[in-house]
Amino acid sequence: MKPILYIVIPCYNEQEVLPVTAPLFLKKIEDLVNREKIADESKIMFVNDGSKDNTWSIIQELSKENSHYIGISQSRNRGHQNAVLAGLMEAKDICDITISIDCDGQDDINAMDEMVECFLNGCEVVYGVRSKRATDTFFKRVTAEGFYKFLNWMGAEVVYNHADYRLISARVLKELANFKEVNLFLRGMVPLVGFKSTSVYYERHERIAGESHYPLKKMIALAIDGITSLSIKPLHMITSMGATVSILSFIAAVWAFINEMMGRTVAGWASTICIVCFMGGIQLICLGVIGEYIGKIYMEVKARPRYIISDRTGDNISK
């Protein structure tokens, strides 16, 4: 029996690129169907993440043109990770496998062929991994590679050079649904689910049209979310730092006491200021890290919904 595939595509202000890439996704679906790799009931699911342009209107028109196109729309912009999760959770009870991919055409669509083959050979998760970063600027390449290395060093288990281009089986999605985190970092959550996995390597291209919605600022925010959502290593580092400073402070106190007893003390304004600034800086950094975790706890205990679907295309439009 051929598996039903849902290609989940998050979209935010993609009116320029969507008319270009949508036919490419449709061609890939039809090609896989014709080669009898997937079932004809397979779909391309666009997830509108509260776009402010005509993205949702374009998705609605596409769904009228071809039955392989469907779409859901979030009630407001919730971010890339929430949009991906919304599509995956909507599809998990309908399909056998999903492939999440961005709308901009940078990820090689042809890698889906090998992903599906890996699934047919027994893999439940297939990660799309960039083989090289030749199209990136030097700054982008260094910061991106440093991003993955830093995440792994901080204890967040991620696949190197893998973003959110991946195949996940419905079996894995149903287990992923048991992860109730509000602070989402799918690159680290999917490996935690387990099951047999592998990687498919591909070359990433330039964005076909429009502008990137993931500047450096968002990359840094994503890294912080990944670390604080999946690792408590920063808290361990604070504990180690506190212990180290305490030991050094004790040694300094003994040294000062000895000098006082021997009458060799000299008033030192510069050394006092340096010590005060150093300790103040460490305390503020530690408070900031602790505050980040407290903020995460605050959001988690509220248990707010991670996504809200306001509209659906076709016969399934919500009422």
In this prediction, residue 8 has a pLDDT band, given cuts at 50, 70 and 90, of very high
pLDDT score, position 24: 92
pLDDT score, position 318: 41
Q: In this structure, are residues 57 and 21 in contact, taking their beta carbons and an 8 Å threshold?
A: no
Q: What pTM does this model have?
A: 0.72
In this prediction, residue 188 has a pLDDT band, given cuts at 50, 70 and 90, of confident
pLDDT tens digit sequence for 55-65: 999 999 998 98
Share of the chain above pLDDT 90, in %: 29
Which amino acid, one-letter code, is at 284? L
pLDDT score, position 238: 73
Q: Which residue has the higher pLDDT, 281 or 70?
A: 70
Q: In what order do the strands lie in the sheet with 43-48?
A: 197-202, 125-130, 162-169, 97-100, 5-11, 43-48, 69-74, 309-312
The residue whose two tokens read 């730092």 is 241
In this prediction, residue 103 has a pLDDT band, given cuts at 50, 70 and 90, of confident
The whole-number average pLDDT for the span 11-29 is: 90
pLDDT tens digit sequence for 240-287: 777 777 677 667 666 666 666 666 555 665 566 667 766 776 777 777
* Structure-token pair, residue 134: 């030749």
pLDDT tens digit sequence for 276-295: 766 776 777 777 777 777 77
